[in-house]
Structure 1
Amino acid sequence: MKKLLPLFLFLCSCSRTAKINVSMNAPSWMQDQLSVSVQQPDKIPAVFADGYILMNQRDDPGSMLITDAGGHIVWYHQVKGTGCKSAHFTHRKTILCILGDKTYPTSYGNEILEISLTGDTLLHLKKGTGDFTSNVHHEVLLTADDHVVMLTSTEKIADLRAQGGGERDTVKSDGILVTDRHGKKIWQWSVFDVLDPAADKDILHTRSDWMHANSLSFDKDSNYLISFYNNGQIWKLDAKTGKVHWKFGRGGDFSYPDSAGFDMGHAVHLNADGDLMLFDNGVSRQQSQTLAFHLDPHHRRATVKIKAVLPAYLFNERMGSAYLTDNNSILQCSSKRNTLVLGNREGTPLWTMRCTFIPYRAEFISREQLLPYTFN
């Protein structure tokens, strides 16, 4: 069993209502992985200057890092023998992540770990526990009642003769599994529930990774928003019936300006304004950007609210994320360029962090979100 390395943490205060002060020292080799430069110091919003950034490292030993705006590591957790494939700051003020060793590619793994900011392991599910029997990838979330939601790998034997394939070809794709905290299945869904791979004219080229779901989040009504890299779409999925309410993006149900077209997206979510926000890799244009849309499901129209184009040197063909820090600034992660950028709504860089590792995503956490925890 993999050993969870302890944090060097001190818990201060014994009152439930008092602030909990967490103090620790990151090793110098870890701190040396980050460097910050500020392009427009007078434009940095106070909420960002006082806030924090969550990142993860996918190599062994896997780690989760929280830094301040100066690039100083204020909290970290390492896991020996495996990588941390993705990480979220939860409504419980905990860190929830996917673990997987080097035998698992990119964002795939076989374990789920939840830890508190004081270093306690609150949940540790391993593949094979209960109904958790498939690989987990890209995303793991907690529902409001603390059930575990994960993107999983799934496959189906399909007759692909209509597309020039075989009578019993294997098609690999994606699903959603919801379990309790012991791994018992509560709900399950698969792409195969709503799509027939034999109807896809390109299936012989994509059957080893059909659709490639790469993010999962909650809509305001607690249904799911799921994004697919290969077909450039985002779906709203009913969390009870599995019905697809709508498809947004290339060939989807909504009209939107051609100038805001996106082909491959990551980190899809509803932002603080209630708009659908994503990091667009922009592979067809060789230009990455952040987009946010106000969706009108009744009239099937989408209005562009944010179009923040990254500088050409930060083109990021895979991975990445974008999150609002306030109404006028966006924290963007250009993973393949090892760079985080705080920019305005037009994409102009205000602040930059360079990393020696590849940051899959970079989540912004405000000081208020952390309370009652504070960092030294």
Structure 2
Amino acid sequence: MRKTYKIILLIATGFVLVAILLFLENPVSNLLFPLKIKTVQLVNLPANRLRFRVVVTTNKKATVYLKYWSRGAKDTLYSDASRDSLHHTLNVTNTVAKTDYTFEVFAQQGKDTVSSNRYHFETKPIYQATPYFDLISMDPSIEKEMKGKYFLTQILTQPGSMVIINHKGDIVWYEPFSKGVKVTNWTPYHTVLSIVGAEKIPSSGGDEIIETALSGKTVRHLKLGKDGMDKMVHHEVRYDKDGNLYALTFDKKVFDLTKAKGLARDTVHGDGIVVFDKANRKIWEWSMLDHLDPLDDPLILKHKKDWVHANSLFKDTDGNFLISYRDLNQVWKVEYKTGKVLWKLGAGGDFPLKPNELFYSQHAVHFNAAHNLVMLDNGTKTGISREITFKVDEANKKAEALSIIALPKEYYTTAKGNAYEFAGDKMLFCLTDPRNFLVTDKAGKVLWKVAVGGDPYRLEEITGFSFNKPQINDNN
């Protein structure tokens, strides 16, 4: 019996030693039980022609990622990374249609690194709610600078889509919707935040707020009638520094308009601001209908279904809001949380402006990194669309135009669009009516031009779309 116990004890001890060598990170373990990539499976996603998943298993917990490249290209792309696991799902999210690609899997545990065989896949033509984007021209002076740049835009019409293009105008990522995608915003979390709604909803409005990861996963969803979303939103949705969502919202209020030959109980439709917390609860709301008297508008009966028309919203570093009113040719600053209107910039506002500094039907008003106020002046009075950057002295109510870029008449857009600072010394334009994207220098010279086959609302440069080679922690 003792001999049997000894044998059992020796076998058990052997299993324990093997387990220790197998699961502990040490040279002996790596020598006896090296890291291996066991299986690699490419998963096609029929709902999206540019997105793929690769499912990988390893014999030991490891960090795993892909590198991939198109045939004949010198550029290497990387997937996201799966860390400290035996089972890995990796996402290929940056590809171009009708292109052959090769990928290779890399796995690393500490200093032990292995790679797989090379595998091939081919992307198919795109047809799901994606228009064409044609690169018309690119000045040689910015070719090097433009390489590696990516831009987010959207298709307003139904069906719609979120779209990311590269500097050549190639679609490299998209997410289609049966409804229109009214506006998009690239978040600090490397996701796309959007307002989605039927084409019949006016004023770039929608009944859903949808946040989408690059993998295609919906990570946040607000829908009219659920949680705190009791009104439709329009034109703008963004995150603030606290992780709350803010948006423009439709509002309405009953007024006595008999003095304007209206009804004693007449409904006026205006705009407001709404803020949702991380649990999608409405935590703050503001309405311009509490701050203007409709009887001051001699044409209120004509305007009452869409009075003054707010079209952009931006939260300043001080926590207060910039709100743009197209029909007033004004930008207001509204104090959060009191709701007090702090000042008005524009026609009839609190800041004296020179004649050439007045703007008409402006869009996409925001503060840039230098805290100067930037806008696209649609120029509905002049027929010339411009970028204007103001230095604003809020305390002394002084404003000075630091930059005015007047575009040629062929780029005039009556509505929508934006002008954003680009690469420090240039401007990025979305021009909806002529359906063009532009990069210009500060003198207005066109350096990059893309023609758009759809109806874009905005265009913004995004950072962090293309993954870098993962940094592996040796203590993994």
Give TM-score, length-normalised by structure 2: 0.72
| Aligned match of 1:13 | 81
What is the identity percentage for the equivalent residue pairs of Structure 1 and Structure 2?
35
Shift of 1:25: 4.4
Larger-Rg structure: 2
CA-atom RMSD in angstroms: 2.2
SS of structure 1 residue aligned to 2:82: coil
For 1:185 and 1:32, the matched residues in 2 are separated by 36
Distance 1:138 1:161, change over 3 A: same
For residues 167-209 of structure 1, the C-alpha deviation after alignment (integer angstroms, 9 at most, x for no partner) is 1111000011112244321001101222222333332221110
The code of the aligned residue for 1:208 comes to K
| Aligned match of 2:6 | none
> Structure 1, unaligned stretches of length 5 or more?
none
Distance 1:267 1:44, change over 3 A: farther
Distance 1:322 1:296, change over 3 A: same
| Aligned match of 2:93 | 22
1:293 equivalenced with 2:370 (yes/no): no
Shift of 1:298: 2.1
5 Å-filtered alignment, 1:314-333, equals 314-333=411-430
SS of structure 2 residue aligned to 1:145: coil
SS of structure 1 residue aligned to 2:455: coil
| Aligned match of 2:140 | 41
For 1:313 and 1:29, the matched residues in 2 are separated by 30
* Equivalent of 1:255 in 337, 347, 352: 352
SS of structure 1 residue aligned to 2:333: strand
The code of the aligned residue for 1:259 comes to N
Shift of 1:45: 6.9
| Aligned match of 1:64 | 162
Distance 1:266 1:45, change over 3 A: farther
The code of the aligned residue for 2:379 comes to G
Counterpart contact for 1:44–1:350, Cα < 8 Å:
no
For residues 36-92 of structure 1, the C-alpha deviation after alignment (integer angstroms, 9 at most, x for no partner) is 02252214571x43211100012232211111111111111112x211111000122
Distance 1:373 1:278, change over 3 A: farther
Shift of 1:20: 8.2
Greater displacement, 109-118 / 178-187: 178-187
Shift of 1:141: 1.2
| Aligned match of 1:161 | 258
The code of the aligned residue for 1:113 comes to I
For 1:12 and 1:236, the matched residues in 2 are separated by 40
Counterpart contact for 2:91–2:215, Cα < 8 Å:
no
5 Å-filtered alignment, 1:1-376, equals 5=47, 8-10=51-53, 11-15=79-83, 22-26=93-97, 27-29=125-127, 33-43=132-142, 46=145, 48-79=146-177, 81-366=178-463, 369-370=464-465, 372=467
For 1:78 and 1:195, the matched residues in 2 are separated by 39
SS of structure 2 residue aligned to 1:306: strand
For 1:314 and 1:215, the matched residues in 2 are separated by 21
SS of structure 1 residue aligned to 2:289: helix
For 1:160 and 1:243, the matched residues in 2 are separated by 25
Shift of 1:239: 1.5
The code of the aligned residue for 2:82 comes to C
The code of the aligned residue for 1:71 comes to G
> Structure 2, unaligned stretches of length 5 or more?
1-45, 54-78, 85-89, 98-124, 470-476
| Aligned match of 2:120 | none
